[in-house]
Structure 1
Amino acid sequence: MSRRDGAADEALVRRIFEEHGAAMLAYAARLTGDRARGEAVVQDVLLRVWRHPEILAGPARASLFATIRDIAGGAPAGEAMAMLGAVEALPPEHRDVLNVLYFQGRDIAEASASLGVPAGAVKERSYQALRQLRAAVAG
């Protein structure tokens, strides 16, 4: 098994969220009838893409929305709940960076200004947070 590139994984998740995040959340919230549950479904989808980028082998948007539909229509999003627990266990400064980058959809410079920390700190905290999340959900 080859070792995956953490920076490439982060870039993939960031790109997917930047391009499709708002639409994914709107669709998931509509399917589940609840914004918080919709957020959990979107997190679950992003986690699946992170673990299995081949999900995007076809048209990315269609694959993402099909995955949202599958998760929202199935059992409770167990992976998402595990991810939420792992996020809660992160240090506050790491959670804040993930929130600004992935849920508010800001870039590094905007996150730096919003959080009042250098861009390098935003990058490092994001990297460390994603590394910790990967370890937590891998088990």
Structure 2
Amino acid sequence: MTSSLKQHTDERALADLQREHGKALFSFLLGLTYGDRQRAEDLLQETLVRAWQHPEALASGHDSMRPWLFTVGRRLAIDARRARRSRPYEVGADALEHSALPDDHAERSVTALDVREAVRTLRGAHREVLTQVYFRGRSVAEASEALGIPAGTVKSRTCYALRALRKALHGYGLDTS
């Protein structure tokens, strides 16, 4: 067979393959790509390229090429997903423009004011314990001695005070559970 006739036969077989299985394969790949039409189309095209690169698969004598095509398409989708996961997430320039600067003094000042206001809302006993343990850096034993209360009371008041602060500072994404 001349190469021109062989190429024409390969093109016809590939066109028949796409006509017979293209829609079903595209729907299958669309599901694997979570509805991303562009990725599904790319995977469909790559699957058909693989079929063209492996004419022995076309001439295998199987009743249908669909299982082979679906297997190749699924493997390509898995490989593409793994490749995307191995690369760092890409962020567009517009997302960077709207993000806060790491050394944003105004943001830190606002946060400090919010924390101070939240601490003011605490009961006196809870506020005293937090002042000793967090703001003065004292241990539980040192805070216990300074406040004249048992160490267990320092621990429980600290726990309740932190819970109250989490509720008061809910807009900062703190876990409230």
Give the TM-score category using the shorter length: 0.3 to 0.5
With the length of structure 2 as denominator, give the TM-score of the two structures.
0.37
Q: Which has the higher contact order (CA 8 A, sep 6+)?
A: 1
With the length of structure 1 as denominator, give the TM-score of the two structures.
0.46
Higher helix share: 1
